[in-house]
Every structure is written in structure tokens, then in C-alpha cells.
Structure 1
């Protein structure tokens, strides 16, 4: 059976009838029967976030919406939560803090069920923190240390729907190129995907297509080399790297995750 699609959004998507990304999510959700679930566990204001998405999804034609409460590991283990998720046609994971998602859900019965349902064809969408959590490995936090201008990056574990991808969001808007290429240099088995705001990738099997307003960046270190890593006087780390590949895509373009090349329709770009 074909796995479900993944709609991975860079955050700050348009929440209106003309918003291409959320309209695409609701359209795709109708491929299977059942309600659309909203998972706001990443947010510290889950009621407000859920209410906002219920309004926009209703305006886009969703008729049956339910909120999945998984704001603790205990709630992620309850039978009522598992029963609700078992009936969904699609699940939307809101923004907030991806560490909360990992702390509350990763390794629980809910996590195992989400993986099983996705493998059975259920659509899963996520924005901002809900985008980062899609990978097996994710960036939890980064900070520029002012005492030596060193970028500190904290890594963590995600849900693992796309094992080979390291997803970063709000990418151009928050200047995150440095942190993503640094993370890929330290984890060369991963391909870095930086997604701008109001932009998304729709992952279907081994390809993704870009939709939305801005760009998606692909950082491929598979053939590259981490030449050197130097510790600064204050414990920071600076790298010399070479032969990394960079791809940038705008709306309508697709990328083959197996060949690691941009596609235009069914034709490969030379």
C-alpha cells in the first residue's frame, strides 16, 4: 500500500480561502473517508491555535474536524486519543515548539499509530514545528553565542516519517542557512531541506513538489567533505567544508529524492 502524502510547510502560511497550501491540504484530505484531525501539542496556546485552524479548514470545505489532545505522554497513551486518530482521513500538526512534540508524543502509542496510519495512506500535514518533527532527526534550537560569535545548534529526534531529510522552516525569513548547512555537515547521511514561510513541499513517495509563495532550499552533502572542524578559544566550533550541492526550487518545481535532482514535470533538468 502507498504511504500517505506529507505536506510540510515552512510556517506562517496564509490562513484564508485564497491560501494555496491549506486549500491543498483539505483537497488531499478528501481522498480518504473520515474527519480531519488537528494536533496542537507543539503550541502553548493550543485552544486558540486549534480554533484558528478549525475556522480556516471549515471555510475551505472541511466538514468534520476534531482536535487531538496529546499535551502529555499520558494523553498520548489514552484509548480515546488512539480511537480518534484511527478514524482520521488526515492530520494537521500545528506550529509551536518541536521539542514539545517530541517530549509528549515520540515513542508513545500515539506515535506508533501515526506511523502506522501514514504507512496505510493517511495524509499528514505540518507547519513550522510540525514540519521539523517529520524527520527522524531535527534541529530543536539554535543560538548565536555572543561571547565568540559561534552558532550553537541543538539536535533532537523527530517522528521519522522522512528518515533521510533534515527539515528547517522559516528558512530565508530567519536567516537559517548557516545552521542547516552546519547540521548537514555533521550529519552527512541527511539531506537538508530549508522551507521558506508560506511555502511547502508535498512529499509523495520518493519525490516532492513545491507549492506556495517563496523558495525551498536543498543542501546535499552526500558527495561533500567536512575538511576540518576547529574549536574556538571559548569552546565554539567552525568548519571547513567542500563539494556540497545546493538546489533552490520555486512553486511548481519538483525534486527526486532518489536521484537527488530537480525535475520539471516528468523531465529532468540538465
Structure 2
């Protein structure tokens, strides 16, 4: 319990002001790339922790022994009940193929079984794949991935493979056995580019390519990504594995794994190489891919996105959180007795979070809880998990956008935000915890050479078509910010929060709270010479984000 004192609000406002002083929004250079991409149905970030089982995805070639040992360890060690699926091999139906399986028969496991058919009717029978019900590990050997998907996709065999993953088993594969792991599968080559087919989708949100460095397949993977916006490209070289398990994603082996994001008309292509022993935060990359797909849709649409919160309310505060913002947030969450979480990334900003928690209590909040978990694993504690599921409001506070976004994605807080709003609750934030709710994030350009800077430019998109900036805004600075928006997010309007200002958005109505004004900066599609493209909205006034106009006192408040 935080002791309530008359100075709590003053201390909080002073601390939060210090968090963002000196942050100036400049831009890294972007390489324009034009694509004509087919929309895909699912561009949501990868729910990494939803994968209860594990994957060991090998890029082909000679498999180092530590990778096999890791696969069998995930399958149960000496108690592993292994099923080897040989269907990819052109020799699968021949008795002479037995010698190719000798390696697996020699492994120190409880049981080894071989599964193969070339008949879809057999694959869809109850009897054929019943052995998978007792398996703890499945391995797909190399060959032709189409041999596998043509037979098993959409059958009871595939159902049982997914069931194995749900109960915590492991599925591994090499070469063709790696390609089948993604739902969008590269089945081979055509004169026009990669032959894209449906795979099993064990690892959602990605397109996997194998023999990646050895066979120079990066151009092929980027072509596949260009027709599938929202996907992350995963290139795995020979003798190398991507190991996916509930606790994280790691690289093993002799070479490297390469992650790729396709470029768009507004963003450049991105690649990053990971060596053995390095960990990968695929959720962050999936969020970036989804954001880029969203942005590309905006750039090609006849109408720009209209900021709107169809359910619940969003409250964003400047550097100094005004008391009115907390009171409005509590009201939107369901009243002073509503369960509310104050969230920060780990314990780095515990003092600021505790001060904010104290402010909530001074505003009359009866059920506010501080959440400082640093990882998704910590959020699995039953008590905290229950609090998350029951929350009617969540408020984010943080000092730095990158750390805040890392925490939000690793801890699956993006899904919590969506769930709370769908329940008609409230989402709020101050400092970096507020900026991340926009469509994009303006960050300091202290390291323009950082290839991952583009990844962190994606916000959660809670307020589509909006970029939130927290600095003193006047006519002079507004021109610079408008130019920045035009270069980086031409479909977005800027909302500049003065120090002691806050906004609450319901539907497409934005109301200004606190002591300072809020600047509405620029219009989507404005020229770079946007001097004067700023409208100051004073405390107590309302602004229609859909119509882009200040509302008169006699307006009927548009909400939906």
C-alpha cells in the first residue's frame, strides 16, 4: 500500500517530466520499395507463449549432434516416444529406405516408429496415425515438401500433429521438413518466383526457407514476403536449427538464421542474422510485420484511417499526468471499485510506477495493483494471471519506447489491451507508456545506423491513423513535426501532448483534460511544407478525429 501524502502528485509530475526531456523525433533514412501485395487474413503478432509444445526446425545439410540431442531432450529424453515421418523422401515406399533410418533407431529413446503413406484416404483414417496419440516427438525427414502436404494436410494425421503440440510435445524436421512448419509454405520455384502453397502452420506468422545461405535464397524469400504482407521471413541455413519452445526461441548449429521483413512504399527491407546461442524475440518482429502491412494498406487506400475507439476508452497523458486523466480513466474502467493494473517494464521504473499507483489511490481507486513482471513467464503466476484476466483497466508507464514495447510484446500485453477494450474497459498510458498506443512511434534518432529502428516504429495501433508526441508544441515546432509525419507516417495525424495535458478518446471524439493544450498536427497527405498545420485544442474542449475539426459546445458528441 502506498502512503498517501499531499506531495504525491507533485513528485509524480516531476519524475515523469524527467523521463522524456531531451527526446527529439528525428528520422532514419528509408529506402522506398514499391510492392503490389495480396492481403492476408491474419497479420496478428505471433502469440509465442501459446505454443505449449516445441519445434526444432533445421535448414538441411548435416545436422550437428547437439541439435539432435536438444530435439530428444524436448521429447522426453530416455522416455521419448519418437515417430519419424518419411513421406518427403522419394525412397519412402521402398524397403531399401530402412538403412536411412538406422540413425534414429540407434538413439537412446523409449520407442521409434516410422509413419508413411502416399494415400490421402489412408492418412485421414483413424487407424493410420493413431500412433501419434502416444508420441512425444515427431521428426520429418528431408525430400520434397509437397509429398508431405499433398498427403497429410487437412487429414486426421494433421489434426493429431497439432494435438501433439498442444499437449507439449516436440516436432522437428530438416530441409523439406522445415518448409512445412509455416502455414505459407515455399513449395519450390516457378519462372515467376517461389511456388507458394499451404503448410501445417506449426509456427504462425512466418514463411520459412531452408538451405538459406548455402543456396542464396534470400531473394526468393523476399519475393514470398512481398505477396504476403504481415509475415516474417525466417531463413535457416544448413547445419543450423531454430528451436522454438514456450520459454523462448534460440539458434543452434554451425551457421545462422536470418530474419527478414519486406519493404513497402514507406519502409525499407530489413534483415538480421542470428548465430548459434543467440535468442530471437519473434513477437517483436511479428508486430513490426503486422504494422508494416497495416501501413501499406493505408498508403494504398482511397480514404485514410479515421482514428476511432469503437469500444471502451483510451486515455493518454503527457509528461505530467493530470489528476483529471486518472479520474476519467477510473470512470471509464467502471468506477473507483473497478480492478485496475498499473504496468511498467520490470523494476527499472518502480518509483514512478509506485507514485502513479499512489495517485490512483488518491483519486479514490479502491482496487489498483502494481504489475512489474519483466517476462511472460512471470505473468504466469496464478494470482497475477487472475488479476490480468479480470482487469477493467490497464495503465502503462515507462521511460523509453523500445523497452516499453519489448515488455508489452514479451508479456503479451498487446492482447490484454485488446481484451479490455472489447470488454468496454479503459486503456491508458503516460510517457512511453502512452506513445506506444499510436499507429507509429516517433523515437530519438540517436542511432540512425540501427537496422532495427524500423521495427520499433510500429505502435500497437490502438489509435489508428494517430502518432502521439509528448513535447512542448508551438507553431514553430509543429511545422517540423508535420514534416516528420509526412516523411515517416504520411497517413497519420499527430497529437502533441503538452506537459500537463491528457486526452480521452471514445469513439472518434477526443476530449482534452488537464491544464495544458493539445496540438493536432498536420493532415494525412499534406505536403512537407506544413507550416501552420496545427490546431491547438484547449483543456475542456472536444475534437472530432473523424471530421478533423474542433467541436462546438452545442455539437452532439459523435461517439460511434
Alignment TM-score, normalising by the size of structure 1? 0.81
Q: Out of 103, 107, 125, which is 2:172 matched to?
A: 125
**Is 1:5 aligned to 2:54, yes or no?**
yes
Higher RCO (Cα < 8 Å, 6 or more apart): 1
After superposition, the C-alpha distances for 1:20-65 in whole angstroms (9 at most, x for unaligned) are 2112212221169552000011111125556434x22344422410
Q: Which has the higher strand share?
A: 1
Judged with a 3 Å threshold, the aligned counterparts in structure 2 of structure 1 residues 63 and 34 are, in CA distance, closer, same or farther, namely: closer
Residue number in structure 2 paired with 1:245: 270
Determine the C-alpha separation between the residues in 2 that align with 1:49 and 1:22: 20
Corresponding residue SS for 1:74 = helix
Residue number in structure 2 paired with 1:20: 66
After superposition, the C-alpha distances for 1:103-151 in whole angstroms (9 at most, x for unaligned) are 00000011111111211111100111110101110111115x4xxxxx5
Corresponding residue SS for 2:113 = strand
1:81 Cα deviation (Å)?
2.2
Q: Out of 86, 100, 105, which is 1:52 matched to?
A: 100
Q: Out of 113, 116, 123, which is 1:76 matched to?
A: 123
Judged with a 3 Å threshold, the aligned counterparts in structure 2 of structure 1 residues 50 and 20 are, in CA distance, closer, same or farther, namely: farther
Q: Out of 132, 135, 139, which is 1:85 matched to?
A: 132
- Deviates most, 41-50 or 93-102: 41-50
Alignment TM-score, normalising by the size of structure 2? 0.40
Residue number in structure 1 paired with 2:283: 258
Larger radius of gyration: 2
Determine the C-alpha separation between the residues in 1 that align with 2:247 and 2:269: 21
**Is 1:160 aligned to 2:180, yes or no?**
no
Determine the C-alpha separation between the residues in 2 that align with 1:5 and 1:56: 22
Contact map agreement 2:72 2:80 (CA 8 A) in 1 = no
After superposition, the C-alpha distances for 1:192-217 in whole angstroms (9 at most, x for unaligned) are 00000010000123832000000110
Q: Out of 30, 36, 53, which is 2:76 matched to?
A: 30
Judged with a 3 Å threshold, the aligned counterparts in structure 2 of structure 1 residues 19 and 33 are, in CA distance, closer, same or farther, namely: closer
Determine the C-alpha separation between the residues in 2 that align with 1:76 and 1:131: 20
RMSD over equivalenced CA pairs, Å: 2.6
Judged with a 3 Å threshold, the aligned counterparts in structure 2 of structure 1 residues 206 and 135 are, in CA distance, closer, same or farther, namely: farther
Contact map agreement 2:78 2:108 (CA 8 A) in 1 = no
Corresponding residue SS for 2:242 = strand
Q: Out of 178, 182, 207, which is 1:135 matched to?
A: 182
Residue number in structure 2 paired with 1:230: none
Determine the C-alpha separation between the residues in 2 that align with 1:108 and 1:51: 29
* Structure 2 gap ranges (5+): 1-49, 287-374, 376-402, 407-449, 453-560
Contact map agreement 1:39 1:70 (CA 8 A) in 2 = no
Determine the C-alpha separation between the residues in 2 that align with 1:45 and 1:252: 35
Residue number in structure 1 paired with 2:462: none
Residue number in structure 1 paired with 2:142: 95
* Structure 1 gap ranges (5+): 146-150, 228-240
Residue number in structure 2 paired with 1:234: none
Determine the C-alpha separation between the residues in 1 that align with 2:57 and 2:225: 19
After the TM superposition, which residues 90-239 of structure 1 pair with which residues of structure 2 at under 5 Å, given as runs?
90-143=137-190, 145=191, 152-205=193-246, 207-221=248-262, 224-225=263-264, 227=265
Judged with a 3 Å threshold, the aligned counterparts in structure 2 of structure 1 residues 111 and 119 are, in CA distance, closer, same or farther, namely: same
Judged with a 3 Å threshold, the aligned counterparts in structure 2 of structure 1 residues 25 and 50 are, in CA distance, closer, same or farther, namely: farther
Residue number in structure 2 paired with 1:236: none
Judged with a 3 Å threshold, the aligned counterparts in structure 2 of structure 1 residues 257 and 206 are, in CA distance, closer, same or farther, namely: farther
Contact map agreement 2:259 2:273 (CA 8 A) in 1 = yes
Determine the C-alpha separation between the residues in 2 that align with 1:9 and 1:192: 15
Q: Out of 113, 131, 141, which is 1:66 matched to?
A: 113
